[in-house]
Amino acid sequence: MSADVSDLSLVRRVQRGDKGAFDALVLKYQHKLVKLVMRYVRNPAEAEDIAQEAFIKAYRALPQFRGDSAFYTWLYRIAINTAKNAVVSRDRSPIEYNIDRNDATEESYDMQGRMKDSETPEGLVLTDEIRTTVNAAIDALPEDLRTAIVLRELEGLSYEEIAAAMDCPVGTVRSRIFRAREAIDRRLRDVFEGGLGRTEELG
């Protein structure tokens, strides 16, 4: 199984003019990309801005993407370059420089981050709620389902590797991971639809 087959099928659709397929790629990689960018900038809101810029750059550069490398590798490269440029640009700004380097203590830097942060209290609660719900759902999973989903998401193993580790067929691994996701998603859906009524914010 090619490591990039589903990403590539979405990429090809975008290259044929289907913008909806790019949404799926953004949904899939937005958290990873924000996490990556946060190695360069500390502020989550700024990291999201940079990730957004990286996605837009990727969209515009997609006609040149030929699939020689994996899509996410290509996307990560764009994000890293965008983050580096943002840091350089910020450091060159006189006002930012004064705040960051001359007057700023760790506390004032954090305050600056908070001032930029557009996170609402509801949003913070929602993030915590999602984490709590997912963790509780994982704890409630049967052992074989939990092992399968953790090996996949945490260790990044392929289905074949998980099958070898758990001594079961690949089809069983696929089924276990799906059932684990379904069980977690059932609770997660309730959080958005029933709990805070913020389904839209997930996207």
Question: What residues from 14 to 53 belong to the interface with another protein (CB under 8 A)?
Answer: 14-24, 26-35, 38, 44, 47-48, 51-52
What residues between 51 and 70 interact with another protein by CB under 8 A? 51-52, 55-56, 59-60, 62-64, 66
Residues whose CB falls within 8 Å of the CB of residue 187, separated by 6 or more in sequence, listed in order: 133, 134, 136, 137
Count of positions on this chain that bind another protein (CB under 8 A): 79
Nearer Cβ to another protein (30/99): 30
Query: Which of 83, 86, 145, 159 is close enough to bind another protein by CB under 8 A?
Result: 159
Residues whose CB falls within 8 Å of the CB of residue 82, separated by 6 or more in sequence, listed in order: 37, 50, 53, 54, 57
Residues whose CB falls within 8 Å of the CB of residue 104, separated by 6 or more in sequence, listed in order: 112
Cα–Cα distance measured from residue 158 to residue 4, given in angstroms and rounded to the nearest whole number: 12
Task: State the nearest-atom distance from the C-beta of 122 to another protein, in Å.
Answer: 9
Decide if residue 163 touches another protein (CB under 8 A).
no
Decide if residue 104 touches another protein (CB under 8 A).
no
Cα–Cα distance measured from residue 185 to residue 33, given in angstroms and rounded to the nearest whole number: 22
Query: Which of 13, 78, 100, 144 is close enough to bind another protein by CB under 8 A?
Result: 13
Nearer Cβ to another protein (52/112): 52
Nearer Cβ to another protein (98/127): 127
Burial of 179 (0-12, 13-18, 19+ CB in 10 A): middle
